[in-house]
Amino acid sequence: MTHPDVPEDEKSVWEKPGTLKAIWIILIAGCVFSAGWGFLLAAQGKLGYDPHFEDKTGLAGVLGALADHFPAFYALVGFVSFSFIVLAGQHLRKILMRDESYYDGEEGRS
Amino acid sequence: MSQILSPDLNPGIILIIAGVLLAVLPKLFRNLVAAGAIVISFTHLWGYGLPAFGEVSLFAQSTLMGFETIGVRIDRLAMIFAVIFHIAALINVIYGWQHATRLEASMGLVYAGAAIAGALAGDLLTLFIYWELAALSSVFIVWAGGGHAAFKAGMRYLVIQVLSGLFLLAGTVMHYSDTGSLAFNSFVTGDGAFGDLSSAAVLILISFAIKAAFPLLHTWLQDSYPKASAVGAVMLSAFTTKLAIYTLARGFAGLDALIVVGCVMTAFPVFFALIENDLRKVLAYSLNNQLGFMVCAIGIGTPLALNGAAAHAFVHIIYKALLFMSMGAVIVRVGTAKATELGGLHKSMPWTTIFCIIGAMSIAAFPLFSGFVAKSMITLAASKEHILFAYFILLFASAGVLVHSGIKIPYFAFFAHDQFSPSHTGKPRPKEAPAPMLIAMGLAAFLCIFIGVQPQYLFALLPYEAKYTAYTADHIATQLQLLLFAILAFALLVKFKLYPAEVRSQNLDVDWFWRVPGRHLLMGVVNGTAALWRFVWRGLCALNGRILRRLYIVHGPEGRIARTWPVGYTALMTAVVFGVVLFSVYFY
């Protein structure tokens, strides 16, 4: 189905450019705030207060140290994980995607 | 606390009896009786009192065909699951007040009762009975979805669920012959990855694994739940898998292999959910992903981890039901839950949108929502046990939750592209969800926030003693980082058109192996057997014909036996026989 262009008078506040701009600003501000809070806590010694992976060595040691001590580690995990899932995951369609009627015939389309 | 009903009466049985009654009652009485039965059953359950840590009370101990059974076991692990099953049952009744069919209302209550009774069962044989009752009652809910596809999915569901029951029965029999006991306690006896499990325990583990939708055994869930009705899918989402989580927590806590299984369970569904168009199927994959957190926690097996599994099961039942309810409301109003057909519904279904967003924020574990206070117990337990790979995968999966349930469900259903603009469709916009559905969603949404804000009430129910504080500065900061940066990634991917568009499709999963080549193989075996039988039958018929022809030749009207013999020949034969007899008598 194509997505129709919605007339201006039918747009909700969530579709107005001003609102979308505000959402972007709030989102970026939230990201800066949360990352900054992480650095602040680290400076106060309240982040990674109880290192959990200091016994690890090699790659695990590096990752463990990141988890325990890098103040923006969770920001990195969130951004990279989400991007990886979306960018890599969509290629699964090339292997797995079939027509809706594949299993259940026309009933599968409803 | 004193009880009016006998403590030997398993509270679940009240719901099972009421459920059977519902099948013959008119609609209004159905709802009232169902709600009343849940209140009575819950009051009865609460009458046992919340046990102290480690305290176990046994009731309804009897001998059945020579086996010692325990009808009711009350401890904190059983209690928390029985409590949340009651809450889920009540939400189901309210949600289906208007739309549940007679069959759904009746079997839904029996199903809830079986799950509660199973959670409170004190031995393996009693558990088996309720295990199978849950399977049998729930298949009617799948079938109530209507259509041939739902019927076929129900049949597949039934086969798999009954198979799980058979594994449980076989394991129980072997366990009894090994130990002489039907007691349902931990089967883990060693420290290895597989905990020195006996053969019986392995069979029981397979049974639980099927119902908990372990990887490769999971597809019954994605196959059947989206084919149930709007009301039925909500009923199904609560009980079967969480009963399995309860049994795993009781029988296999600390089994290291479950950590790996749980990690796989959390990770792989996020990719399938990403490319799925049917939003209820997305929720089914999301359910799988959430179960992974619980299984992983059970594998870790520390008191904190097991509390995390129980707490996560508790909150998960509520927010998953809320998400399924919001999609059910969309189906009731629009007729589909396919992302390609949806969008812009926030304009005419604002309450459903708000409730769905609350469910999404809860499952994504935003601070002040229920998922936040429960899920982090599991990740914290993984880090405290220094299990780095599990910790990383759980964090990865937490971002994955945001992909499928946190963003995809509300965004594509209620925002994205407006598909219901009256100027384009020529029809008025879909109406808001019916009042009973809104009330049920409102109740679930309230619980999501209440538990998130006041987690102490949930923590008071947890089964083990473990120190845990949900709201610490570093926990809030790190969780906000993870979620907000994941949302930033989503916003950037959409802005740069890198987020995949929804496509109408059927995506294959491992069930393809038995639904396509497996079916061909089975049909080949069936056809081969039929051909072999026809060949044998033709041979038998031919042989039979030959025998009959030969008999006819000898015994037929023209046969030698039927021939008339001359008198002389007869006299000669008589003389010969006499001669033989005389010789015999003379010489012997």
Q: How far apart are CA B544 and CA B540, in angstroms?
A: 6
Interchain pair B275, A85: CB under 8 A: no
Residues 243-272 of B with CB under 8 A from A: 270-272
Q: Do B474 and A31 touch (CB under 8 A)?
A: no
Distances from the Cα of B275 to the Cα of B279, B285, B414, B529, B560, angstroms: 10, 11, 18, 40, 82
From chain B, the residues in CB contact with A97 under 8 A are 275, 503, 505-508
- pLDDT recorded at residue B319: 97
Three-state SS annotation for B27-60: HHHHHHHHHHHHHHHHHHHHHCCCCCCCCCEEEE
| Three-state SS sequence of B467-534 | CCCCCCHHHHHHHHHHHHHHHHHHHHHHHCCCCCCCCCCEECCCCHHHHCHHHHHHHHHHHHHHHHHH
* Angle at which helices B102-120 and B11-22 cross, to 10°: 170
For position A1, what pLDDT does the model report? 40
- Residues of chain A in contact with residue B271, where contact means CB-CB under 8 angstroms, are 85, 88-89, 92
Q: How many CB atoms lie within 10 A of CB B84?
A: 27
Rounded to an integer, what distance in angstroms lies between the CA atom of residue B93 and that of residue B440? 9
Using CA coordinates, name the residue in chain B closest to A74. B482
pLDDT score of A49: 57
- Which of B107, B114, B183 is closest to B138 using CA atoms? B107
- The partner residue sitting opposite B508, judged by closest CB among A49, A53, A98, is A98
Q: Which residues contact B448 (CB under 8 A, 6 or more apart)?
A: B315, B318, B319, B322, B358, B359, B361, B362, B369, B370
- Strand ranges, E, within B109-235: none
Other beta carbons less than 10 A from residue A28's beta carbon:
13
- CA dist., res. B305 & res. B262, Å (int): 13
Q: What is the pLDDT of residue A61?
A: 86
User: Minimal CA–CA distance to B58: which of B182, B242, B153, B200?
Assistant: B182
Q: How many CB atoms lie within 10 A of CB B136?
A: 17
β-strands B67-74, B506-507 pairing: unpaired
Q: Does B275 touch chain A (CB under 8 A)?
A: yes
Contacts of A72 in chain B (CB under 8 A): 481
* DSSP-assigned letter for residue B346: G
From chain B, pick out residues whose CB is under 8 angstroms from the CB of A37: 473, 477, 480
Q: Do A86 and B477 touch (CB under 8 A)?
A: no
pLDDT at A2: 42
- Beta partners for B63? B68
Residues B494 and B480: their CA atoms lie apart, in Å, by 21
B414 three-class SS: helix
Q: In a structure prediction context, what are the per-residue pLDDT tens digits for chain B, which is 588 residues long?
A: 567 899 999 999 999 999 999 999 998 899 999 999 999 999 999 999 999 999 999 999 998 888 899 999 999 999 999 999 999 999 999 999 999 999 999 999 999 999 999 999 999 999 999 999 999 999 999 999 999 999 999 999 999 999 999 999 999 999 999 999 999 999 998 777 787 899 999 999 999 999 999 999 999 999 999 999 999 999 999 999 999 999 999 999 999 999 999 999 999 999 999 999 999 999 999 999 999 999 999 999 999 999 999 999 999 999 999 999 999 999 999 999 999 999 999 999 999 999 999 999 999 999 999 999 999 999 999 999 999 999 999 999 999 998 888 899 999 999 988 999 898 888 899 999 999 999 999 999 999 999 999 999 999 999 999 999 999 998 999 999 999 999 999 999 999 999 998 899 999 999 999 999 999 999 999 999 999 999 999 999 999 999 999 888 887 777 777 777 677 777 888 889 999 998 888 876
Closest-CA residue of A relative to B507 is: A97
Task: Give chain B positions within 8 Å (CB) of A30.
Answer: 480, 484
**Cβ of A31 and B484 within 8 Å?**
yes
Question: Which one of B396, B415, B487 has the shortest CB-CB distance to A27?
Answer: B487
Chain pair A-B, CB pairs under 8 angstroms: 204
pLDDT of residue B276: 94
| Residue B562 contacts A, CB cutoff 8 Å | no
Q: pLDDT digit string (tens) for A51-102? A: 678 788 888 888 888 888 889 999 999 999 999 999 999 999 999 999 999 9
Residue A15 near residue B346, CB atoms below 8 Å = no
Can you state the percent helix, strand and coil of chain B, rounding each to 5?
70, 5, 25
CB within 8 Å: A92 and B344: no
Q: Taking the mean position of all CA atoms in its chain, how far away is CA B365?
A: 24
Does the beta-carbon distance from B504 to A82 stay under 8 Å?
A: no
**B504 touching A, CB under 8 A?**
yes
The residues near B28 (Cβ < 8 Å, ≥ 6 apart) are none
Q: Which amino acid is at B530?
A: A
- Strand-pairing partners, residue B338, are B278
**Distance from the first to the final alpha carbon of chain A:** 14
Q: Give B 460-479 residues with CB within 8 A of chain A.
A: 473-474, 477-479
Nearest alpha carbon to residue B418 among A11, A9, A21: A11
Alpha carbon of B413 to those of A58, B407, B432: distances in Å? 45, 10, 14
The ipTM, to two decimals, is 0.93
A-chain residues near B403 (CB < 8 A): 82, 85-86
Of B421, B474, B508, the CB nearest to A4: B421
Whether the CB-CB separation of B312 and B362 falls below 8 Å is answered with no
**DSSP strand pairing (B57-64 vs B506-507):** unpaired
**CA-based nearest residue to A37, from A71, A66, A70, A65:** A71
User: Chain B interface, mutation test: which of A86, A93, A101, A106, most B Cβ atoms within 10 Å?
Assistant: A86
pLDDT recorded at residue A48: 64
Q: State the nearest Cα–Cα gap between A89 and chain B, in angstroms.
A: 5
> What HEC string does chain A produce?
CCCCCCCHHHCCHHHCHHHHHHHHHHHHHHHHHHHHHHHHHHHCCCCCCCCCCCCCCHHHHHHHHHHHHCCCHHHHHHHHHHHHHHHHHCCHHHHHEECCCCCCHHHHHC
A-interface mutation test, from B151, B471, B478, most A Cβ less than 10 A away = B478
Cβ atoms of residues B253 and B301 within 8 Å: yes
Tell me which chain B residue has its CA closest to the CA of residue A46.
Answer: B474
